[in-house]
Each structure stands twice: as structure tokens, then as C-alpha cells.
């Protein structure tokens, strides 16, 4: 903003902020190893013990050598933000632009991480379930998804599924799930809150991955438990500095993180054709 625009007008103390995405994926992972990272490039070794065999006793005992396996959680992802605020803008805004935009930047970083976590559907270990929303039954697909988890001995507690808004709307109009003559059904119709479906807590997000194949477009709904993905993050740098050659402050921040699917059989996908 130039000095020619520095006129005594009334500026609101409230900024018109953009509508924000519903960020959910980062809340559906575990952070068991987050306290062990410091900087980008750190590696956390995760040891998985082998199964212990149970045998029939016939008077003697034999001992098995136990072999553990290791996985590495590598802190190899980095996102940053950087912006500057001129003294004139700050004076006219009647609010602290620096603190306001830091909040916006933090939200943008969270959105970038959420999209990154959504892309981990490629490491899911359970067989994919294809669904066409116009003709197939998403509710039945979730029943099958629950069966897949049961067969993989995944605990039923804490199961979740993330769908797109189109998938969410499909569940809201599913007669097998929504029975309006019940208190639960009336609540769903009135508020649009699906909640629990077929043993899953349902979340909706625009960050559900979109893929193309042969000119067709699909959405990758992801289901599982927070045992499946481990995640670790740290804001390693946040700095404010005076810009040389201008009357402005610069603010920048760096976020480092790592993520890994450590239990593939606790994670599955539903490939949805929505058009």
C-alpha cells in the first residue's frame, strides 16, 4: 500500500476471514513418538515385537527365538510460511495484522498437513472397496469395511471413516440408516449430523484425495483407527525480522513433520465414484 492511500478513513477492527476447511486427518492419527523429534532429518526407530507361539504341553518346553521388526519414522517433511506487513497497513488496520496473519498461516499449515495425511491412503493394507454413489450403497460398503477390520483383528473401539461432502450426503439420505420415525433418525434429518454409522465415527473433509484414472475421477475415502498412522510434528522456527530497505516487518515460520502407516491392516479405502 503506497503513502498516497494513507487517508483518514474508518477501518474496521474485525477482519473478514475466509471460510476454513474442516481439518480432520491430523486428529485421527497417533502421536506416540512426537516427543522424540527435534529437527528435520531426525529418525525415530519403532520396534514391533514378533508374535509369541502357544503350543501343546507334553512334558517338555521348547523356546522360540523372538525376532522383532523395525520401522523408521523419518522427519523428512517441511512446510513454511512467510509474509510481510508494512507499517502503513498496520497503522490503518486498527488491529494487529501480524498476530492475525500468524493465525491464518497456522491454519494454512494445518491444511497442508491434513492434505498430506489424506494422501497416505496409498499405504492402506486392506483391500479397496469400490462404490458408485449414484447406484451403490455406501452404508453397505461401511458394513463390509467393518468386516475387513474385524477379520484383521483390529479393535472396534475408535474406528473412523473420512468421506467427502458427497459421501456424507449419501449417508444422510440412506433409508437403511436414517429411520425418521426414531429419535436418532429425526435428529439426523433435522441437523445433518451422521455420527456413528456401522461402527464408524463419520467425518467429512474436502481434503479427501481425488484421483483420476482413464479420464474418470474418484474420491478416496479412508477408514481405520488411530493405531494405523503415526505422526510427529514440531514448529522448529518462528521469526520476526525488520525488512531492510522498507518500512515493514517480515514474519516466517517453519514446520517439520514425519508420518508413516505403521499398521497397514488397520487402514482401508473406499474408492467412490461421485458423479
CATH number at residue 64: 3.90.1690.10
Residue-level pLDDT at 172: 83
Give the structural domain span for 52.
Answer: 18-275
Q: Is 149 part of any domain?
A: yes
Domain membership of residue 193 (yes or no) is yes
pLDDT at 19: 62
What is the end-to-end Cα distance of the chain in Å, rounded?
A: 44
* Cβ contacts of 237 within 8 Å, gap of 6 or more: 252, 253, 254
pLDDT per residue over 56-72, tens digit each?
999 899 988 888 888 88
Distance CA 161, CA 138 (A): 12
Number of domains in the chain: 1
Give the closest residue to 46 by CA, choosing from 263, 269, 270.
263
Q: What is the DSSP letter of 14?
A: S
Chain-centroid distance, C-alpha 170: 21
DSSP sequence for 33-74: TGGG--STT-EEEEEEPPPPP----SS----PPP--EEEEEE
Confidence (pLDDT) at 4: 47
Domain-embedded: residue 159: yes
* pLDDT for 5: 46
For 99-113, what is each residue's pLDDT tens digit?
A: 777 778 888 888 899
CA distance 205 to 20: 11
- Asked whether residue 136 is assigned to any structural domain, the reply reads yes
128-142 pLDDT, tens digit per residue, is 999 999 888 899 999
Domain assignment present for residue 99? The answer is yes
At residue 190, the pLDDT reads 61
Residues of the chain with pLDDT under 50: 1-6, 11-12
Amino acid at each position: 500500500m503506497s503513502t498516497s492511500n494513507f487517508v483518514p478513513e474508518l477501518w474496521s477492527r474485525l477482519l473478514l476471514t475466509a471460510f476454513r476447511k474442516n481439518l480432520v486427518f491430523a486428529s485421527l492419527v497417533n502421536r506416540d513418538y512426537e516427543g522424540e523429534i527435534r529437527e528435520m532429518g531426525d529418525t525415530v526407530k519403532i520396534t514391533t515385537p514378533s508374535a509369541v507361539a502357544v503350543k501343546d504341553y507334553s512334558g517338555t518346553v521348547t523356546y522360540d527365538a523372538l525376532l522383532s521388526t523395525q520401522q523408521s519414522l523419518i522427519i523428512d517433511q517441511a512446510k513454511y510460511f512467510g509474509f510481510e506487513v508494512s507499517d502503513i497497513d498496520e497503522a490503518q488496520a486498527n488491529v494487529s495484522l501480524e498476530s492475525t496473519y500468524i493465525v491464518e498461516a497456522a491454519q494454512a499449515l494445518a491444511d497442508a498437513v491434513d492434505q498430506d495425511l489424506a494422501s497416505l491412503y496409498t499405504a492402506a493394507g486392506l483391500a479397496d472397496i469400490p462404490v458408485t454413489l449414484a447406484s451403490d450403497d455406501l452404508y453397505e460398503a461401511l458394513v463390509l469395511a467393518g468386516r475387513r477390520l474385524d477379520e484383521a483383528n483390529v479393535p472396534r473401539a475408535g474406528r473412523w471413516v473420512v468421506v467427502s461432502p458427497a459421501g456424507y450426503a449419501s449417508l444422510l439420505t440412506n433409508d437403511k440408516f436414517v429411520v425418521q420415525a426414531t429419535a436418532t433418525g429425526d435428529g439426523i434429518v433435522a441437523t445433518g449430523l451422521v455420527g456413528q454409522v456401522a461402527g464408524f465415527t463419520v467425518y467429512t473433509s474436502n481434503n479427501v484425495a481425488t484421483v483420476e484414472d482413464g479420464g474418470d475421477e474418484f474420491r478416496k475415502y479412508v477408514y481405520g483407527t488411530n493405531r494405523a498412522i503415526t505422526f510427529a510434528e514440531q514448529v522448529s522456527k518462528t521469526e520476526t525480522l525488520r525488512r531492510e530497505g522498507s518500512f515493514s516487518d517480515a514474519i516466517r515460520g517453519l514446520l517439520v513433520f514425519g508420518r508413516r502407516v505403521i499398521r497397514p491392516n488397520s487402514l482401508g479405502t473406499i474408492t467412490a465414484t461421485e458423479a
